[in-house]
Amino acid sequence: MSTSSITAGKPFHENDGQLVLAHVLFAFAALLLGGIAGLLQAMVRGGTITLPHGIGYYQLLTAHGVLMALIFTTYFIIGFLYGGVAKTTGRLLPTTLALGWTGFLLMSMGTAVGTVFILLNKATVLYTFYAPMKASPYFYVALALVVVGSWLSGYGIFYQYNYWRKTHPGERSPLFSFMSVVTMLLWQVATLGVAAEVLIQLIPWSFGWVDTINVLLSRTLFWYFGHPLVYFWLLPAYICWYVVIPKVIGGRIYSDALARLSFLLLFVFSIPVGFHHQLMEPGISQFWKFLQVALTLMVVVPSLMTAFSLFATFELAGRAKGVRGVFGWLKVLPWNDVRFFAPFMGMLIFIPAGAGGVINASYQLDEVVHNTLWITGHFHLTVATSVALTFFGIAYWLIPAVTNRRLTPRLNKLGLWQTWIWVIGMFFMSGSMHTVGLLGAPRRTAYTTYGDNAQASGWIPYEVVMAIGGMILFVGVLLMIYNIYALLQAPAGYEEFPIGEELDGAEPTPKLFERWGVWLGISVVLIFVAYTIPVVEMIQTGVGSPGYKTW
């Protein structure tokens, strides 16, 4: 924001900036629509409103899940990654831009068609679209468009990265670009599962070309994708934590090698673990569930490495400023800078959020919490807080950076307010979801008193608190939308795209880290080990089901 920083970097080229901005604005439009659905849901469950005639609870829940978890996240991620790749490898090449825009158009067509079918109440199948609930075939076609579009966006990033490597032989690639490639590679491998489910199973079945569907197989293909999906959301937040935050706090990246290794481990271990979403399902033998739970616990390791690395970055930055004592470094962190504060609250909340994940992954504990509001509480901390707040924090500098404006002190302050509102709203909403989940309240259920059942009546007060949390969060959504609007009107100038530098004297990064064939190979082997036998069994013994319209 100072005048010296105006000359510190080059402004974004207009063409690159437009691609980033289009994705980011689309993401926030989805957040607004998804937020309206979220508010209504929370109020219905709290018994405070009934929906006007014609709108179903599950219809809203589908809109909320799809717009928040699939659309808001994917668009923001692609925009952010293209921004960082442009910043670290140079202007986007014409082919990169063409792939980026084609991806954007396909995804947007898919999103528009999908949303219309949800609004028409022809696709009330929730964001996991489990068979044998059967939506209009055009909903599945829309999903396929979104996936294919996102593949093209990924190819754009690979293309730009390859070009950079060819023109910089022997050099280590910029950390941001490396991490973007890992994120998009994870996405390519993960989406193969959902693409197979949609193209081979759901589309032929919903058009009526085949009568039945193998339900267990379809759920397995979904979760083959669905778990790495959550890491696809998380990795860009980690990029911010590893690469952006050190610069914002005036420190250094603790270790480039450690950061790359943690991303590679996340890539390798996050796919062969989908069964931890199916622990309570019949038809998968205990050995395969056990194996995938063991791999799930492996994927916790790179997150713990990330936590270690962040603490090291914070402490070393503090020491460099001369502070002493075990916790002295906390005092010199830039608490009043929203570029730091919003992602930091995301990190802090990721500690209980991740602990909740480890609980879910433990078979005996999952028996208690599966399909309860505890799970909903878990992912409103992980994706809707750790990830979402980090994305909000990024937007405050990314939007001005790509539009050649600056983040003003007033907007910075509004951003701090927005962060507090989100944290407080989520404390109430997710806190009561966790608690009432332990008391047995199911997720994905509209308001009901179960015929004034005694146990169920005990859930109502928590659901009221959930609704209050939801209202606070909705204020947070509105303020965020206002902030985005105001960022677009901010005064012209230069805003930095913060990219941290590595600590001097760190260990060199092994060349092996950029031998993609090796990592892809390990990943494929693990996937085959974890999935081949159970999937063959499912195909051989699976029973077909006709489709149902349950709404």
Q: Which residues are catalytic?
A: 227, 231, 378-380, 443-444
In 3-state terms, what secondary structure has residue 476? helix
Does a cis peptide bond (omega within 30 degrees of 0) precede residue 546? no
Out of 303, 385, 412, 418, the only residue in the binding site for ligand HAS (CB under 6 A) is: 303
Give me the residue whose beta carbon is nearest to ligand HAS. Answer: 354
Crossing angle of helices 409-438 and 388-403, rounded to 10° = 160
324 phi and psi angles, rounded to 5 deg: -120, 180
Q: Which two tokens stand for residue 479?
A: 């303020």
Integer CA distances (angstroms), 329 to 33, 39, 120, 307, 340, in order: 40, 39, 54, 16, 14
Candidates 50-58, 223-231, 387-395, 528-536; binding stretch for Cu ion (CB under 5 A): 223-231
Q: Considering the rule CB under 6 A, would residue 42 count as an interface residue with ligand HEM?
A: yes
Nearest to 38 by CA among 423, 417, 352, 426: 426
Burial of 541 per CB tally in 10 Å (0-12, 13-18, 19+): exposed
Nearest to 346 by CA among 470, 429, 245, 468: 245
Candidates 41-49, 112-120, 183-191, 344-352; binding stretch for ligand HEM (CB under 6 A): 41-49
Q: Considering the rule CB under 6 A, would residue 82 count as an interface residue with ligand HEM?
A: no
In 3-state terms, what secondary structure has residue 548? strand
Q: Considering the rule CB under 6 A, would residue 72 count as an interface residue with ligand HAS?
A: no
Contacts 24+ apart (CB under 8 A), 438-441: 438/368, 438/369, 438/372, 438/374, 440/372, 441/372, 441/373
Q: Which two tokens stand for residue 498?
A: 């913060």
Give the total of residues touching ligand HEM (CB under 6 A).
28
- Residue 533 CB, shortest distance to ligand HEM, in Å, is 30
Q: Considering the rule CB under 5 A, would residue 260 count as an interface residue with Cu ion?
A: no
- Residue 231 CB, shortest distance to ligand HAS, in Å, is 7
Q: Considering the rule CB under 6 A, would residue 200 count as an interface residue with ligand HAS?
A: no
Out of 274, 343, 357, 476, the only residue in the binding site for ligand HAS (CB under 6 A) is: 357
545 phi and psi angles, rounded to 5 deg: -125, 145
405 phi and psi angles, rounded to 5 deg: -125, -175
- Residue 265 CB, shortest distance to ligand HAS, in Å, is 11
Q: How far apart are CA 67 and CA 126, in angstroms?
A: 11
Task: Report yes or no: 389 and 419 within 8 Å, Cβ to Cβ.
Answer: yes
Q: Considering the rule CB under 6 A, would residue 354 count as an interface residue with ligand HAS?
A: yes
Task: Report yes or no: 276 and 360 within 8 Å, Cβ to Cβ.
Answer: yes
Out of 28, 72, 263, 494, the only residue in the binding site for ligand HEM (CB under 6 A) is: 72
Out of 21, 24, 33, 61, the only residue in the binding site for ligand HEM (CB under 6 A) is: 61
- Residue 170 CB, shortest distance to ligand HAS, in Å, is 33
Candidates 97-105, 224-232, 236-244, 518-526; binding stretch for Cu ion (CB under 5 A): 224-232
- Binding partner at 311 among ligand HEM, Cu ion, ligand HAS, none, C-beta below 5 to 8 Å by kind: ligand HAS
Q: Considering the rule CB under 5 A, would residue 289 count as an interface residue with Cu ion?
A: no
Contact characters 114-143, ligand HAS, x per CB under 6 A: --------------x---------------
What are residue 133's DSSP bridge partners?
A: 548
Candidates 50-58, 78-86, 342-350, 454-462; binding stretch for ligand HAS (CB under 6 A): 342-350
User: Looking only at Cα atoms, what is the longest distance across the chain?
Assistant: 71
Residues that bind Cu ion (CB under 5 A): 227
Residues that bind ligand HAS (CB under 6 A): 128, 230, 233-234, 276-277, 296, 299-300, 303-304, 306-307, 310-311, 330, 347-348, 350-351, 354, 357-358, 360-361, 366, 370, 375, 378-379, 382-383, 387
Residues that bind ligand HEM (CB under 6 A): 35, 38-39, 41-42, 45, 61, 64-65, 68-69, 72-73, 126-127, 376, 379-380, 383-384, 388, 443-445, 470, 473-474, 477
